[in-house]
Amino acid sequence: MAIAESACIAGIFEHPLRHAPDHSLGQLHAEVVAGALADAGLDQRDVDGFFCASDAPGGVLSIADYLGIRPRHVNATEIGGASYIAHVAHAAQAIRAGKCNIALITLAGQPRTKGTPPRAYAAEAPEAPFELPYGPTVLNLYAMVAMRHMYEHGTTAEQLAWVKVAASHHAQHNPNALLRKVVTVEDVLSSPIVCDPLHRLDCCVITDGGGALIVCREEIARSLRKPLVRAIGTGTAIKHHNGGKVDITASGAALSGPVAFAEAGVTPADIKYASIYDSFTITVIVQLEDLGFCERGQGGRFVSDGNLISGVGKLPFNTDGGGLCNNHPSNRGGMTKVIEAVRQLRGEAHPAVQVNNCDLALAHATGGSLATRHASATLILERAA
């Protein structure tokens, strides 16, 4: 049985708050779950599969107890921001195998309220004694990718800035977005350099909040209230240093993307809308190349002149404002990427950014850092009749 015949996303919810100092982490999880169940027309008694990552307080046992669910199938895959797209794939596999019928996927976090801890290495991690002395941070690792991409392919700071410009054009229509002001290329370039060559506006927002998804059998989804959105292709990959033989301008999307496209039986040219992980502007450019939307080294040229802006460009992306302007809950962007892709396929995006005849969408996320070891997960969704 193909994924397209068995698994649909029937419920979505994105928490409206971007700063939640008066909430507990468990409360945020409970609120996004309630929202997704209400969106689908279900309640917690219907859930028999549960998928979460390390953001769940107390782990899968504690949060399942707190939410009042009694799953017969659980999965706690942890691959950073890519976890939640991987969870959709795992839920589809579990549904296909008869392990569950209605799966819940949840994310919540409070980095805006509680701060973001510095990059940590487990004492037993084999790379720690070799990398820790050099002081790696998320910021300087991505700056390395940007600098190398500029060196190898002639990518410019102006081209990077166009990614932020596109995100801001979309965020202006999202009442919940943290940054709703439309910015120009000049605004991005005049913002302070935070790690050469990245400017402040090349970086994503830090927000509290979260989101949840309901994945279920197609026959169940057809009986519910929302338009049918099928998961038709998934791919997950790990990219690491490969014993020193590594190209930091390439990502795991070059591995996960082809698997997802092959399973779905479509090509990049068929995609009407793309949710692309946008921790930094360079993240988007690298992934566009690796997913096959443009040739290697041509990402900067592809995004220039507004090609990512809905209604203007070739490939509308992140029409909620993405991680660059809207929301990056718990510093993990995979969940919101799926949510906005589903909105587009249902025709529920803001009218100003809704893609005409959006019947095929892609959501992609990374977990870790492009310059070092990371996971990539790709999901292809279709609107069904």
Say if residue 225's pLDDT is above 90.
no
Q: How many CB atoms lie within 10 A of CB 308?
A: 29
User: Which candidate, 32, 323, 283, 279, places its Cα nearest to that of 171?
Assistant: 323
Please tell me the predicted confidence (pLDDT) of residue 305: 86
Hey, what amino acid is at 321?
G
Are 267 and 261 within 8 A, CB to CB? yes
Q: What are phi and psi of 353, to 5 degrees?
A: -125, 0
Q: Which of 95, 384, 67 is nearest to 224 (CA)?
A: 384
The model's pLDDT over 240-255, given as tens digits with 9 standing for 90+, comes to: 988 888 899 999 999 9
Query: What is the pLDDT averaged over residues 345-371?
Result: 97
pLDDT at 1: 37
pLDDT given at position 127: 84
Mean pLDDT of the residues in the chain? 94
Per-domain residue ranges of the chain: 3-114+204-383
Q: What is the pLDDT of residue 243?
A: 83
Contact indicator for 260, 233 with CB cutoff of 8 Å: yes
pLDDT of residue 108: 97
Percent of the chain with pLDDT over 70: 97
5 pLDDT band (50/70/90 cuts)?
low
pLDDT (mean) for 307-327: 97
Class (C level, CATH) for 3-114+204-383: alpha beta
pLDDT at 4 over 50: no
Per-range mean pLDDT, top range of 13-17, 302-306, 329-333: 13-17
Instruction: Dump strand ranges (E) for 69-148.
Output: 73-75, 102-109
* Core vs surface per residue 60-76: b (16+ CB within 10 A) or e: beebbebbebebebbbb
Residue 43 has which token pair? 């309640």
pLDDT grade for 121, boundaries at 50, 70 and 90: low
Helices (H) and strands (E) in the chain, counts: 14, 11
Q: What is the pLDDT of residue 122?
A: 64
Q: Is 192 exposed, middle or buried (0-12, 13-18, 19+ CB in 10 A)?
A: exposed
Q: Which amino acid is at 53?
A: A
Q: Which of 4, 35, 18 is nearest to 339 (CA)?
A: 35
Q: What is the pLDDT of residue 354?
A: 98
Q: Report the pLDDT averaged over residues 338-359.
A: 98
